[in-house]
Each structure stands twice: as structure tokens, then as C-alpha cells.
Structure 1
Amino acid sequence: MKKVLILMMVLTLVVLLILFVPVKQSLVFYKENTTEIEAYLPLENQETFQIIFTHSIHLTDVVEKYVVLDNQHIQQYEMIYEEFGIGMPSNAQGEEEFHSENGRYHITNMNNVFPEIKLRNGKAVSEHRLVWGPEHEYITEFNNYFEPGAWFTIKVDELSLWQMIQGVRIHE
């Protein structure tokens, strides 16, 4: 009887460890300012992703490029857009470089580092997209995972199996 009790305790401990110990680094989309996981995308350090949105006034695409840093922060390293105006930079700052190519403006060499990003899925023009993969070959629309107008906090976190089960994995 004592052996069965010890075995049950060990099995319970193993199951708890498997479920609740963080195992996978991911780009996590938390609902608003909560710890409720809406969706996640497994990403390792130095992997890149892009958020593309249609500017609500200019109605042209804006591409923001990011990389996951070793300290689980997110660095914006490039921005591409077609129109100057409301909400868009008119030039580079500091060490950044500004140039135009094929009718689009590029700001490169950006070093904007964030522990988290607060983002609202477009409501008036709901065309946000997430791009990732070695050759940026995967793309999905935010509307596949979030309601138009929803806002969330994006962070890089280690997720446990339990957290991954509760959230929705973003896939190609």
C-alpha cells in the first residue's frame, strides 16, 4: 500500500511538472492587459516576424519588421510604407537609415526595443497580418484569431504545455 501511495505521488508530480513547467518560447498574444492567452506562435531567439497593417487613412500597407532578442524582448529593425502623413515618420532618426525603393519608403537599422507591444487589431480597416518563417513564407490574418477592434499585449514568453493547451497556436 505504501509503495502504491508513493508511486501515485511521483506520477502526480511528474504530470504536474510536464503540464506546468515552461517548455516552449513563443510570441504570445495576451488579451488586453491580462494573462489570458488568446494565441501564440512558437519563435526562438533571433527569429524574425513582421506585422503588416493597412493604414486606416492612406489605405496602404505598412510593414513593421521585428526580431526576438536573447532577453525575450522584441526589437523593431525596419519599417516600410508608401505614404507620409498621420502616424508615419518623415525621416530616419539617430543611427537609422532612410531610403526609397520601388515607390516605398524604408527606415532600416532601427533599434526600437520593447519588452512588450500593445496592439489593436484594426476595426475600421481590419487587415492586420502576421508574417514569419525562415523566408517569411507564412502569413496569416489577425482576423483568423482576433475580433476586429480587439486589443492585446504581445510578449515573448516561455509557455508550459498547459498554457499552450489553453491558447490557440497560430499556424500557416
Structure 2
Amino acid sequence: MKKKVTILLLIVSFLVLFPLFFFYVPVQKAVVFYHEHTSKISAYLPINSGESFQIIFTHSIHLSDVIEKYRVTKDNKIEQYEIVFEEFGIGMPSNAEEGQKFVYEDGKYHVKNLNNIFPYMNIRNGKTVSKHRLVWGDNDQHKVWFNEYFLPGDWFTVKVEDLTLWQLMKGVKIHD
């Protein structure tokens, strides 16, 4: 009789605890792409605090690449620490602000030490010139095109969050 009660308690505990774990316990930090201003996860990139990623887009006027470099903070914010571009134009910086460094290296302009902290970012996949890319990993070894995951013209709220198993199952994992 005691054995049956123990087994029954184990089964009931599992049935109660598993859903709690599945729906409420975060298991993976990720850069999450939410569709527009919704809670619908369109895609996510698993990442850890301190790791970096880049968003590269082709400027719609001068049609050259702009590289925005980001790092994930310990408190799940996004820190922009550098921007790299080839030509001055609309929306491009022309100098560095206090504490930043403006340099010309290997044929490109770099604005370093930006220290721009964002709780989230709103990003639009290019509609006219749809050549956005996401780069990550050691020595920037991984790269995917936004168009592999999103439609041209789509826009997203991008956040760093700790996702549960349920959220991981609902979204599309970005991988190369």
C-alpha cells in the first residue's frame, strides 16, 4: 500500500511540476525577434551574456553595407558598441561624440566605444533593398540573411530574453 501511495505522489508531483517548468522556468537566453508589437516570437537566436552579434544592412541610398555591432548585457539589454560603414550619407554619423572613437581602417569608417544601451530595438527588414544579415559566433563565423526567416518589409521588436521550453517550441531557432 505504501508503495502505491509513493508512486501516486510521484505521478501527481510530475503532473504538477512539469507544466510549471515547461511554461514558467526560463532555460535559454536568446535574442528574440517578436513580430511587430506582439508577443508572437517570429525567430530567436540562442546567445549568452557578454556574447556579441551584428546586424548588417545595405544602406538604401548609397547601397553599401552598414555593420552595427551589439553585445548582450548581464541584465538582458542590448549594447551597441560599434558601427562600421563605407560612405557618409543620410542617417550615417559624421563624427564621434564624447568618449567615442572615430577611425578609418581598411577602407571603412568605424565609430567605436558607442555604449548605447537598449532594452529593445525596433528593426525593419529592408523592403526596397532587402539585404539584412545577422552575424554571430566566435570570429563572426555564422551568418544568415533576414529573408531566410522574414519577409521583406516585415518589422520586429528585438529583445534579449530568457525563454521557457514552451517559448522555444513556438519560435523558429535561427541557425546557419
- TM-score with structure 2 setting the length: 0.93
Q: Indicate whether 1:9 and 2:7 are aligned.
A: no
Correspondence list, 1:66-105, <5 A: 66-105=70-109
- Using the alignment, how far apart are the partners of 1:74 and 1:146 within structure 2? 21
In structure 1, the gaps of 5 or more residues are none
- Using the alignment, how far apart are the partners of 2:131 and 2:16 within structure 1? 45
In structure 2, the gaps of 5 or more residues are none
- Across the aligned residues of Structure 1 and Structure 2, the Cα RMSD in angstroms comes to 1.4
The answer for the alignment partner of 1:44 in structure 2 is: 48
Letter in 2 for 1:155: K
- Using the alignment, how far apart are the partners of 1:70 and 1:142 within structure 2? 26
- Using the alignment, how far apart are the partners of 2:81 and 2:75 within structure 1? 16
- Using the alignment, how far apart are the partners of 1:13 and 1:83 within structure 2? 58
- Give the length in aligned residue pairs: 172
> Per-residue displacement from partner, 1:6-28 (whole Å, max 9, x unpaired)?
44421212321331111111111
- TM-score with structure 1 setting the length: 0.95
Q: Indicate whether 1:129 and 2:133 are aligned.
A: yes
- Using the alignment, how far apart are the partners of 2:107 and 2:169 within structure 1? 44
Q: Indicate whether 1:25 and 2:21 are aligned.
A: no
How far has the Cα of 1:5 moved from its partner?
5.3
How far has the Cα of 1:134 moved from its partner?
1.3
Larger radius of gyration: 2
> Per-residue displacement from partner, 1:124-171 (whole Å, max 9, x unpaired)?
000000000011100000111111000001101000111000000000
- Using the alignment, how far apart are the partners of 1:22 and 1:44 within structure 2? 13
**Partner secondary structure for residue 163 of structure 1:** helix
Q: Which runs of 4+ in 1 moved over 4 A?
A: none
- Using the alignment, how far apart are the partners of 1:25 and 1:39 within structure 2? 13
One of 128, 145, 151 as aligned partner of 1:147: 151
**Partner secondary structure for residue 38 of structure 1:** strand
